[in-house]
């Protein structure tokens, strides 16, 4: 347990000592801030119009602002996560520091979990920036906080899954760019899979659609925790980290 924490802390130090963390957080803050402004401005304009026309349409901040925002956040994560994970193992393999980790009295899974938690922590920092904006809504209105929390739980689970996939891909190469590009396309593919059900409704298309990472997020965005989605994310995380462990082991036998 301590070993996981030691490695996790070292990972965080590496992220925040290099420009990666600041770059990821800044980019996300800019994009998110812009979209946040657009959607709230639209919401306010709509409110004014409704008032001027003299009809009091029921307006819901959660439905009109927060839900689309969270869904947008889930999409942006697809692009940010390769930036976070590409260095995880590739860098250590390139500089040879992997030799230090693998010859220290630490289990492989402790290394993998430590690194994954480090990446997850950085991702939480990114989400914290988005939460700042949403907190503003509480200053001017009364959004329901429970669906927001559930939405964030969904973002964390989805992020954790993509981070685990990225961790695995980073373990396969010692070239950070290869790891980054491959992870990006893996994320993209997992996103595109959701389109399969849009064209045809056969059983096969549904199976493919089920594998898509974003379809499982829809429930969370609505404020619904479906055990099916939670299990999907958790098993994807477990499976990816398990593959990473296998890959580490094969590294020893091949290298």
Partner 1 sequence: MIKVQGLTKRYARTIAVDNISFEVEKGQIVGFLGPNGAGKTTTMRVLTCFLPPTSGTATVAGFDVLENPMEVKKRIGYLPETPPLYPEMEVSEYLTFVGRLKGISTADIDRRVGEVVERCAIGDVRDKLIGKLSKGYRQRVGLAQAIIHNPDVLVLDEPTAGLDPKQIIETRELIKHLAGDHTIILSTHILPEVEHSCQRVVIINKGKLVATDSVENLTNRLRGAEAVALEVASSNGPLDPAAVRQRLEQVSGVSRVLPREARDGRLAFEVESLQGRHIRADLARSVVEAGWNLNELRAVGLSLEDIFLQLTGAESVGQASRPAGGLQAPLSKEGQP
1 binds partner 1 (CB under 8 A): no
Please state the closest distance from residue 28 (CB atom) to partner 1, in A: 22
CB 62, CB 201: distance < 8 Å: no
192 binds partner 1 (CB under 8 A): no
The rounded distance, in Å, linking the Cα atoms of 16 and 57 is 47
* Number of chain residues interacting with partner 1 (CB under 8 A): 26
172 binds partner 1 (CB under 8 A): no
- E strand or H helix that includes residue 85: helix 67-85
DSSP codes of every residue in 138-185:
HHHS---HHHHHHHHHHHHHHHHHHHHHHHHHHHT-S-HHHHHHHHHH
Question: Pattern of binders to partner 1 over 223-252, x per CB under 8 A?
Answer: -----------------------------x
Instruction: Using the minimum distance from each CB to partner 1, give the nearer residue, 111 or 237.
Output: 111
**Residues 170-179 as b or e (16 or more Cβ within 10 Å = b):** bbbbbbbeeb
Sign of CA dihedral 239, 243, 248, 250: positive
Which of 42, 51, 99, 144 is in the footprint of partner 1 by CB under 8 A?
A: 99
2 binds partner 1 (CB under 8 A): yes
13 binds partner 1 (CB under 8 A): yes
* Residues numbered 101-160 forming contacts with partner 1, rule: CB under 8 A: 101-107
Please state the closest distance from residue 22 (CB atom) to partner 1, in A: 13
**Which of 11-19, 66-74, 118-126, 203-211 is the region at the interface with partner 1 (rule: CB under 8 A)?**
11-19
Write down the residue that tokens 């689309």 correspond to: 68
Cα torsion for 208, 229, 4, 250, to the nearest 10°? -20
Instruction: Using the minimum distance from each CB to partner 1, give the nearer residue, 7 or 186.
Output: 7
The rounded distance, in Å, linking the Cα atoms of 232 and 225 is 12
Half-sphere exposure of 63 (CA within 13 A, CB side): 3
**Which of 3-11, 51-59, 206-214, 215-223 is the region at the interface with partner 1 (rule: CB under 8 A)?**
3-11
The rounded distance, in Å, linking the Cα atoms of 134 and 147 is 12
Half-sphere exposure of 115 (CA within 13 A, CB side): 29
Which of 4, 7, 88, 182 is in the footprint of partner 1 by CB under 8 A?
A: 7
Please state the closest distance from residue 92 (CB atom) to partner 1, in A: 9
Which of 1, 17, 52, 139 is in the footprint of partner 1 by CB under 8 A?
A: 17
By CB under 8 A, name the binding residues for partner 1. Answer: 2-3, 6-7, 10, 13-14, 17-18, 95-107, 252-255
């Amino acid at each position: 347990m301590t070993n996981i924490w030691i490695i996790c802390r070292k990972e965080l130090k590496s992220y925040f000592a290099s420009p990666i963390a600041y770059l990821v957080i800044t980019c996300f803050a800019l994009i998110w801030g812009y979209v946040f402004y657009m959607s709230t401005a639209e919401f306010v304009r709509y409110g004014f119009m409704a008032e001027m026309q003299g009809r009091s349409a029921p307006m819901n901040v959660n439905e009109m602002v927060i839900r689309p925002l969270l869904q947008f956040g889930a999409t942006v994560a697809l692009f940010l996560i390769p930036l976070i994970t590409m260095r995880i193992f590739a860098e250590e393999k390139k500089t040879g520091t992997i030799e230090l980790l693998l010859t220290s009295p630490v289990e492989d899974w402790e290394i993998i979990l430590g690194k994954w938690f480090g990446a997850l922590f950085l991702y939480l920092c990114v989400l914290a920036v988005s939460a700042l904006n949403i907190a503003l809504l509480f200053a001017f209105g009364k959004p329901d906080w429970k669906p927001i929390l559930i939405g964030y739980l969904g973002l964390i689970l989805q992020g954790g899954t993509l981070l685990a996939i990225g961790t695995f891909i980073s373990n396969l190469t010692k070239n950070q760019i290869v790891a980054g590009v491959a992870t990006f396309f893996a994320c993209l593919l997992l996103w595109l899979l959701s389109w399969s059900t849009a064209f045809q409704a056969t059983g096969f298309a549904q199976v493919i659609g089920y594998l898509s990472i974003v379809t499982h997020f829809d429930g969370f965005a609505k404020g619904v925790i479906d055990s099916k989605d939670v299990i999907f994310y958790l098993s994807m995380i477990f499976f990816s980290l398990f593959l990473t462990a296998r890959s580490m082991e094969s590294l020893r036998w091949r290298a």
